[in-house]
Structure 1
Amino acid sequence: MIEYVLKTSHLSKQFKNQTALNKVDLSIKKGSIYGFIGQNGAGKSTLIRIISGLASPTTGTVELFVHSNGQALNEARKRIGTMIEGPALYPHMTAVENLEAHRLLKGIPGKECIEKTLELVGLQGTGKKKARNFSLGMKQRLGIAIALLGDPEFLILDEPINGLDPMGVVEVRELLKKLNQEYGITILISSHILSELHLLATHYGIIHKGHLLEQLTLDELNKKCKQYLHIKVDNPEKAAAVIESNLSTREFEVLPDGLIKLFGFVDTPGIVSSILVNEGLVIEHFMPMGQDLESYFMERIGGVHHG
């Protein structure tokens, strides 16, 4: 039986004349890293705030760890950690002092968790250095450390890599992988840096103008974004027969306009072109093609530029 840490049902949020969320049915499996993709203003932060209890839906329900009502839902929220719209840091305090302040705010007993959490995010050696003097990557990791206080089972991060330099992005990515793979923490990460999400997430949700357009796994995404050789020849029927017999594959498509998509030989295009030419076919167009996550996202939302 599949376990879900989060489900929403017909979740909607209305602000006066604006619909921020429109009947969103979202589900996140235990143990996954869920990449939540959307333009700025698509509804990502609104949904995250509702999940976290910082806002209420107009209609619909939120289910956390199978709990969806009243006090049980509020208790379930104690099992999540959040970093929404940037880390909530006290700039004049050290890393230890920041965690101590948030520990007291959350009512977490004992100080043992502070050093353990700082070590987990790689900030155990910052000493008396104030948070205002941290690099952006260090600030993000400190924000994640605050979210990790209380040993949450579900971590919700809103744009955790926004504004980071390449090294900071790598640091945060590796930290999130470690939290997921070694500590079993389920993670929801919203971002518009799609190339980075593709290196991290195991599942994806695409939201646009408050509508959840699609949910898919990494394998499903990779199949949709599969690389292929884009081939146009003077005789596509003969080419199809040649490909099937000489390359021993049926992993190709002949489109209505005669174009051929050949999968599985992107790394060896010379072999394919040689076989076609040796069989007397005239190659009119031949090049590797395919989509990345950003291209697929643009296609799903109708080609609107996202920021």
Structure 2
Amino acid sequence: MNEYVLKTHDLSKVYQKKMALNKVSMAIEKGSIYGFIGQNGAGKSTLIRLITGLAFPTAGTFELFGKSNNTGEFIEARKRIGTIIEGPALYPQMTAVENLETHRLLKGIPGKECIEKTLTLVGLQGTGKKKAKHFSLGMKQRLGLAIALLGDPEFLLLDEPINGLDPMGVVEIRELLKRLNQEYGITILISSHILSELHLLATHYGIIHNGILLEQLSAKELNEKCQQYLHIKVDDCNKAVTVIERFLETQNFEVMPDGSIKLFAYVDQPGKVSKTLTDEALIIEAFMPMGEDLETYFTRRIGGVQHG
């Protein structure tokens, strides 16, 4: 039986007569990295604000670690989460150690030993007297993660944690989040509009649009829906089908209405496929690897390119 760190039940939020969230029911499995996908204004930040207590739902309920937000036990459950919302809350005139010490006191966490441990975890142990205002954007994001990690949370909620980072900073944050998940067992919800990056990180996805959760699916399910294939067009489709079945020994293909062939096998061996076809005197008119990525799938799922 799956264990969930977060479940929402018909969760809704209205701001000034605008439905920011509309009966959202989602579930995040323990140990997963949940990529929360949606355009600006889709409802991602609103949901995170509800979970963290920065706003209150208009209707519906949610559970953290099995504790309902309508019960007294929920306050203790919320102590098991860490968050970054709309950028890390840093004190620019303070060093990394001073920032963590301030947040440690605010959170009521006993003992200072957690500070050096957390800074080492995010790779900021050598920053010394350097003030946060002089940190690079990537360092600021890692310091924000360090603050979120104080108290050893089991669940991280991160709102656009790689927004504005240069490519190296994106890689650093990605690898850090993978490590937190795989080595420390921390469940992560990460909202982002950088879909190519989420595709490298997430184990599960939720797609939200105009406040409505359109779909939840695992990375495996997404990869099946975005299956890669070789697009093949030759002068004799019927002969090509016979060649593929006889010489490549596969029936993992589909003949399209225009006479082209989607070959789902041998995607990593295109040279073998093209040589087999030409050896059998077939003339190749088109031959290329194809398939959807997360961005293409998302755009199709919400009904095409949206202009705002």
1:41 maps to a residue whose letter is G
User: 1:15-54 counterparts in 2 under 5 A?
Assistant: 15-54=15-54
Match of 2:6 in 1: 6
CA distance, structure 2, for counterparts of residue 80 and residue 183 of structure 1: 14
CA distance, structure 2, for counterparts of residue 91 and residue 305 of structure 1: 37
Match of 2:182 in 1: 181
Match of 1:67 in 2: 67
Q: Which runs of 4+ in 1 moved over 4 A?
A: none
Quote the offset at 1:234 in angstroms.
Answer: 4.1
**Mean Cα deviation higher: 141-150 or 61-70:** 61-70
SS in 2 for 1:226: coil
SS in 2 for 1:303: coil
1:157-196 Cα distance to aligned partner (Å, 9 max, x none)? 1111111111111111111111111111001111111111
Quote the offset at 1:99 in angstroms.
Answer: 0.8
User: TM-score under structure 2 normalisation?
Assistant: 0.95
Is 1:98 the counterpart of 2:99 in the alignment? yes
Identity across the alignment (%): 77
SS in 2 for 1:212: strand
Quote the offset at 1:305 in angstroms.
Answer: 4.5
CA distance, structure 2, for counterparts of residue 306 and residue 191 of structure 1: 18
CA distance, structure 1, for counterparts of residue 307 and residue 254 of structure 2: 31
CA distance, structure 2, for counterparts of residue 234 and residue 131 of structure 1: 64
1:214-272 Cα distance to aligned partner (Å, 9 max, x none)? 11111111222222111233443332232122111121112233321101223332332
On the 8 A contact 1:40/1:306 being kept in 2, the answer is no
Is 1:136 the counterpart of 2:145 in the alignment? no
Is 1:270 the counterpart of 2:271 in the alignment? yes
- The alignment covers a number of residue pairs equal to 307
1:89 maps to a residue whose letter is L
Q: Which consecutive unaligned segments of at least 5 residues does structure 1 have?
A: none
Quote the offset at 1:198 in angstroms.
Answer: 1.2
Cα 1:39–1:151 change in 2 (3 A) is same
On the 8 A contact 1:39/1:306 being kept in 2, the answer is no
1:49-86 Cα distance to aligned partner (Å, 9 max, x none)? 11111111111111110111232222211100001000
RMSD value, Cα: 1.6
CA distance, structure 1, for counterparts of residue 262 and residue 255 of structure 2: 7
**Mean Cα deviation higher: 268-277 or 258-267:** 268-277
On the 8 A contact 1:158/1:191 being kept in 2, the answer is yes
Is 1:232 the counterpart of 2:240 in the alignment? no
2:106 maps to a residue whose letter is L
SS in 1 for 2:208: strand
CA distance, structure 2, for counterparts of residue 305 and residue 130 of structure 1: 41
CA distance, structure 1, for counterparts of residue 23 and residue 162 of structure 2: 28
On the 8 A contact 1:160/1:191 being kept in 2, the answer is yes
